[in-house]
Chains A and B, each alone.
Chain A
Amino acid sequence: MRLFRLLWVFLRVGVMGEAAYPANFLAHLIDSVLELATALAGLALIFAHTSTLAGWRPDELVALVGVYFLVGGVIGLVIQPGMEQLTESVRDGTLDFTLTKPEDAQLLVSVWRVEIWKVVDVGLGLVVLGIGLARLGARVGAAEAAAFAAALVAGGIIVYSFWLILATTAFWLVRVENILVIFQSVYEAGRWPVSIYPGWLRFALTFLVPVAFAITVPAQALAGRLTWPVLGGAALLAAVFFLAARLFWLAGIRHYSGASS
């Protein structure tokens, strides 16, 4: 798999780049722990006033926060830095060099930057997920675990495709660095089960900016509330999103005029 070979190379480069800033790593650790503490404090604040939130019990929401950090960590580790670099390269024209490389350009821009310290988020997400699972106990069996893994992969593909589509708009809009702001806000909406939102917003979070599939659906699988049609729908949507992102990317490349022309 060329994807994993390339990813491994860029991950090693990322480690080497960040190893020069050990204090920075510590700062980011503090950063992530604070963010996690904020999320859990928010839950504590809410469950001080109520016992369930739209049918979700506290332990299930803790597991959901774990998924939120895990998926967010993967996005922050490789997807987001690569896409930001892409929009910058389109703006200043350095994408020229990438396009002349023999490797597929979409594959390259998807893995060419890593924020290595984001593995902290992945790790923290796994820990929180583990705690949530331990407290949910025997209710999570092999079927739930398998459904969870499948939902997580489908959600990951959907989110990646969404990012690529957003970043590809840079070929037309040029200055799109604020994409970070929109995605972070929209991603934050996923820290809560999408069922609490009013219908129009739930629709938007499911199909327009599909954080529902990345976070709520896998968490539902763990809580044993995921039905097979929803999982099938997630897989289908992942395929559709991936294809759409690929086609949009190709259109963007055709539209790109480069720095020197």
Chain B
Amino acid sequence: MRGLGDLYLQQLKTGLATMLQYRGSLVIWLIGNVLEPLIYLVVWSTVSRSTGGTVGGYGARDFAAYYIVLMLVNQVTFSWVMYEFDYRIREGTFSADLLHPLHPIHADIAENLSSKAVSLPFMIAAAAGLSVVFHPVFRLSPLAAAAFVPALVLAFLVRFLVDWTVALAAFWTTRVSAINQIHYMAVLFFSGQIAPLAVLPRPLQVAANILPFRWTVGFPVELLLGRVTGPRILAGFAVQGAWLLAGALLVRYVWRASVKRYSAVGA
């Protein structure tokens, strides 16, 4: 365990140093992460205003609250490991990482966390700015706030494991952009990013409950906003737990099968 702790600490340090080195890129990247939820916020607020009431139980200011929280949750849980893996395998830089005694997913998680540590203050500032512009209504309860924290941690882990498994496709095919695109769209629809799940047609809502994506973004957001209550909170945690287990197993077995296929330039 000491080795693992050291690795995380060291990765966090080097990750922070790297992130702070390239501040220009960081700002550009943050603009993108703010703009996407902002677009859907504006679209859905416009829709709810033009209907003169609410859409799926959301008024204009509820949509503002939803998307501002979603922006932060998405920022915490998302990863870019699919895009990194494509490069690693194609360019053969993964060969050295494979010699490390620890599973490479740990280095990726630590790197992800260090970049989040740098970017989160900016995102919170952006959320504050958007709150001033769009007047969101938050109805926070202590229970929801308390349940939100473990839900967010689970969401991060589930999303990372699923993303990492998808990223392993790079071992099997050298051009993975179509797979990444399909994955991105699944996340868009089923995680609650294109619209809150309550706005979607019934069959899509059912699918979203089964697939992992809702549990990596939408669930913590709805939880904090008090839209998931009572026994449905516990049910949500149960599904998150099930996906955590499934994700861990997926990573374990897909990883083993994938590594056998590895053939780098120069290997």
Contact = CB atoms under 8 A, between A and B. Distances in A.
B178 interface: yes
B82 to A, nearest CB: 14
Contacts of A192: 39, 42-43
Interface in B164-192: 175, 177-178, 181-182, 185, 188-189
Interface in A17-62: 21, 24, 27-28, 30-31, 34-35, 38, 41-42, 45-46, 48-50, 52-54
Interface residues of A, number: 39
Contacts of B199: 45, 49
Q: Taking chain B's interface residues, is the majority helix, strand, or loop, or is none over half, making it mixed?
A: helix
A30 B55 CA distance: 32
A182 interface: yes
For chain A, what secondary structure do more than half of its interface residues adopt (helix, strand, loop), or is it mixed? helix
A169 B23 CA distance: 13
A4 B43 CA distance: 39
A76 to B, nearest CB: 11
Given A35-B181, A38-B188, A201 B42 contact: yes
B28 A181 contact: yes
Given A189-B39, A192-B39, A178 B175 contact: no
B46 to A, nearest CB: 5
A184 interface: yes
B35 A198 contact: no
B118 interface: no
B51 A50 contact: yes
Contacts of B35: 185-186, 188-189
Interface in A195-232: 196-198, 201
Contact of B50 (A21, A24, A53, A173): A53
Contacts of B25: 173, 175-178
A27 B178 contact: yes
A31 B28 contact: no
Contact of A34 (B42, B175, B181): B181
A45 B178 contact: no
Contacts of B200: 45
A24 B24 contact: no
A182 B175 contact: no
Contacts of A52: 50
A188 B29 contact: no
A91 B2 CA distance: 38
B32 A182 contact: yes
Contacts of B178: 27-28, 30-31
B38 to A, nearest CB: 8
A179 interface: yes
A184 B32 contact: yes
Interface of A: 21, 24, 27-28, 30-31, 34-35, 38, 41-42, 45-46, 48-50, 52-54, 169, 173-179, 181-182, 184-186, 188-189, 192, 196-198, 201
The 4 A-B pairs at the shortest CB distance, nearest first, are namely A27-B178, A185-B32, A173-B24, A181-B32
14 contacts: A27-B178, A45-B195, A45-B199, A49-B51, A50-B47, A175-B25, A178-B29, A181-B28, A182-B28, A184-B32, A185-B35, A186-B35, A188-B35, A188-B36
